[in-house]
Amino acid sequence: MFCYRVRKTIGAYLAALGGADAVVFGGGIGEHQPALRARICEGLEWCGLRLDLDRNAAASGAEARISADRSSVHAYVIPSDEESIIVRDTVECLLKTA
């Protein structure tokens, strides 16, 4: 259900935007779950997104392009540092209220 909902959302955004240059996977699941990335991208060939299964399997926690060379919409894994951003924003909020 999770993969279906993510794929549906990507499709909705692609339709609303009239296409895209790339899809980016970040955060814990996007960075570390190649099997989920593959399931999410299944069926998105209609928009030009084709995953390279070897690249996808090798990309875990590191910045990488995971789309096939023939893909017109590329897919990337981009690690994020969400914890640091949350800490920084929390400190900023605390300093404003002090």
Tens digit of each residue's pLDDT (9 = 90 or more) over 39-88: 999 999 999 999 999 999 999 878 999 999 999 999 999 998 888 888 99
Q: CB burial class (10 A; 0-12, 13-18, 19+) of residue 94?
A: exposed
**Domain ranges for the chain:** 2-97
Instruction: Answer whether 0.85 is exceeded by the pTM.
Output: no
For domain 2-97, give the CATH number: 3.30.420.40
Whole-angstrom Cα distance, residue 35 to residue 57?
A: 8
Question: What number is the average pLDDT over the span 21-44?
Answer: 94
Question: What number is the average pLDDT over the span 21-48?
Answer: 94
| Residue 26 contacts residue 77 (beta carbons within 8 Å) | yes
Going by pLDDT thresholds of 50, 70 and 90, the confidence category of residue 98 is low
pLDDT for 56: 97
Among the listed residues 31, 45, 13, the one whose alpha carbon sits nearest the alpha carbon of residue 76: 31
